[in-house]
Amino acid sequence: MKRLICLVVGLACATALHAETQAVRWNRFADQVYQLHLKSIAAQPARSEESTQAYEGDMAKNYTYRETQFFAAGSNKLLSKLRVDQDDPSKRYYLEVNVLDSQGRVARDYIALYLPWSMSQPARTFISLHAYPGELHAFRQFNASGQRILELCEGRLQGKKVMLLFEEAELDKTPEASAAYRACFGGLPLQAGEFLTPQ
């Protein structure tokens, strides 16, 4: 019925349908990040650290939340981080999960962030795919809709310091022909692909 109404109303309704689709997709992504967190800490010995904190900004002044960080017991590497409402722990508004490679480095990470005063859908979602070519550490970041939103690379290449940062508005202008850019990002996919589903 909603689609039929939209055919009559036109473009404004099509935009609303797109927003609704993004809300559904991003909420599903947040749920999947949480399930990945549960799977991660169940698969290996982990320890946790908990703290209570409060925002100081105007919009969420004095909003109190509980943050729990989970670390791999053997390596002390951060596996995940959760922030929940202090008064209602069922309200998870920040979820972060790191997937480590065989050397204990972050291979990919997932983040879903809700605004404390608006829990209907995540305000931001992030999927970061990491690579470690030589002495470099690079990652390419996407949102849960598959849009590329950030590229960052730091380290050394042939003895020279490298620091490349491209934000969303600059990604169409990246110097893909440069040796540093190819060395940093050549091994990373241009699309999130299968990793749009946290795994």
Instruction: With cut-offs at 50, 70 and 90, classify the pLDDT of residue 54.
Output: confident
Asked whether residue 56 is assigned to any structural domain, the reply reads no
Boundaries of domain holding 141 = 2-46+94-196
Asked whether residue 74 is assigned to any structural domain, the reply reads no
Beta bridge partners of residue 173, listed in sequence order? none
Place of tokens 């998870």: 92
**pLDDT tens column, 120-144:** 899 999 999 999 999 999 999 999 9
Asked whether residue 175 is assigned to any structural domain, the reply reads yes
Asked whether residue 28 is assigned to any structural domain, the reply reads yes
Distance CA 150, CA 103 (A): 25
- The model's pTM is 0.86
Whole-number pLDDT of residue 20: 57
Whole-number pLDDT of residue 171: 83
E strand residue ranges, 40-105: 46-54, 64-72, 78-85, 92-100
Minimal CA–CA distance to 144: which of 38, 39, 31?
A: 31
Asked whether residue 170 is assigned to any structural domain, the reply reads yes
Beta bridge partners of residue 84, listed in sequence order? 66, 92
Q: Quote the mean pLDDT of the chain.
A: 88
Asked whether residue 84 is assigned to any structural domain, the reply reads no
Q: Is the pLDDT of residue 160 over 80?
A: yes
Minimal CA–CA distance to 157: which of 180, 141, 140, 138?
A: 180
Indicate the number of domains in the chain.
Answer: 1
Asked whether residue 142 is assigned to any structural domain, the reply reads yes
